[in-house]
Amino acid sequence: MGSAAHPSRGPKPLGSSPQAASVLLVLGGIVSVQLGAAVATGLFDEAGPAGTVFLRVGFAALVLVAIWRPRLSGVAGDRLREVAAFGFVLAAMNLSFYAALDRIPLGIAVTLEFVGPLAVAIGASRRRSDLIWVALAAVGILLLSPAPGDSLSAAGAGFALLAGGFWGAYILLSARVGATMPGGGGLALAMAFGTVLLIPAGVARAGDIVDPAVLGAGFAIAVLSSAIPYSLELEALRRLARGTFGVMMSLEPAVAATVGFIVLGQDLTARELIAIALVVAASAGALRSAPPAAEA
């Protein structure tokens, strides 16, 4: 690592180098996302998973549109279809994930969902050594898979894996939309389109989500889960190597398990903790060795 290249100069305080600061930014983004998920879980009794998703995506769209001020002029043909597909994937990914959170612990849901980015990274690789990461992830997923008589919800695990599939599609579409629409304009438009798709879910819970406390919690979820992490990660990526960024993002399942335990009181068994550790290790190895998105 570049920050350790000159030991003779003495240790530097954490955050004193651009790379160390970027690492803190990524960690801050990861923690923010998982805190947002924890807040969302607490809102399910009032708004339900679908209503909570509508609030999150809707408020996130308002924030991103206000920041980036995207214009629809010039967005037509293939570009418009890509933005629409991006918006659909965003809505479906969040809906599936919150449906999983309603049934299984946060740490397990994020771990199962992480098969999406892991599959994208492995699919972009051409190295046989990456089969090691596939094997590690497979063992971890098998350990988390509900067995007959197990208390883990099979539907919850299925929703988490479905969210992972949409997360993989999100990564691929994000790269395509970002290449044709610089900045966050494409993401803002996709969020707005996703909000439109989620209007039926919002209407179904209209009597619940108009409560000021529920609206305030929904806005907090949007800021914690979208606005803050997106901003922090965007700034970190300006100065951090892609491989390092990928390894750090692979910490999400572990951070989710920690937040679930501290904030939500969700205990995990030794088997589940080992499974999460295996998926984290597999993700770190696969993401670090994956080629840039443009080559994928």
Give me the tens of pLDDT residue by residue for the chain, a chain 296 residues long: 443 333 334 444 444 466 778 888 899 999 999 999 999 999 999 999 999 999 999 999 999 899 888 887 777 788 899 999 999 999 999 999 999 999 999 999 999 999 998 888 888 777 777 788 889 999 999 999 887 667 889 999 999 999 999 999 998 998 888 888 877 888 899 999 999 999 999 999 888 898 999 999 999 999 999 889 988 887 787 777 777 788 888 999 999 999 999 999 999 999 999 999 999 999 888 877 666 544 44
Q: Answer whether 275's CB lies under 8 Å from 56's CB.
A: no
pLDDT, residue 214, reads 94
Q: Using CB atoms within 10 Å of the CB of residue 69, give its burial: 0 to 12 exposed, 13 to 18 middle, 19+ buried.
A: exposed
Do the domain assignments include residue 151?
yes
pLDDT, residue 216, reads 96
- State which amino acid sits at residue 18: P
pLDDT, residue 238, reads 73
pLDDT, residue 28, reads 94
pLDDT, residue 18, reads 67
pLDDT, residue 6, reads 39
The domain tally of the chain equals 1
DSSP sequence for 183-235: TTHHHHHHHHHHHHHTHHHHHHTHHHHTSHHHHHHHHHHHIIIIIHHHHHHHH
Do the domain assignments include residue 12?
no
pLDDT, residue 55, reads 95
Give the DSSP letter of residue 295.
G
| Tokens 């919800």 -> residue | 153
Q: Answer whether 190's CB lies under 8 Å from 134's CB.
A: no
Helix/strand/coil (H, E, C) string of 22-87?
A: HHHHHHHHHHHHHHHHHHHHHHHHHHHHHHHHHHHHHHHHHHHHHHHCCCCCCCCHHHHHHHHHHH
pTM (2 decimals)?
Answer: 0.86
pLDDT, residue 11, reads 42
Do the domain assignments include residue 163?
yes
Parent domain of 177: 19-295
| Tokens 């998926």 -> residue | 279
pLDDT, residue 290, reads 63
Do the domain assignments include residue 134?
yes
Q: Answer whether 218's CB lies under 8 Å from 209's CB.
A: yes
Do the domain assignments include residue 7?
no
Alpha-carbon torsion, ordered 93, 210, 192, 185, to 10 deg: -100
Do the domain assignments include residue 225?
yes
Do the domain assignments include residue 9?
no
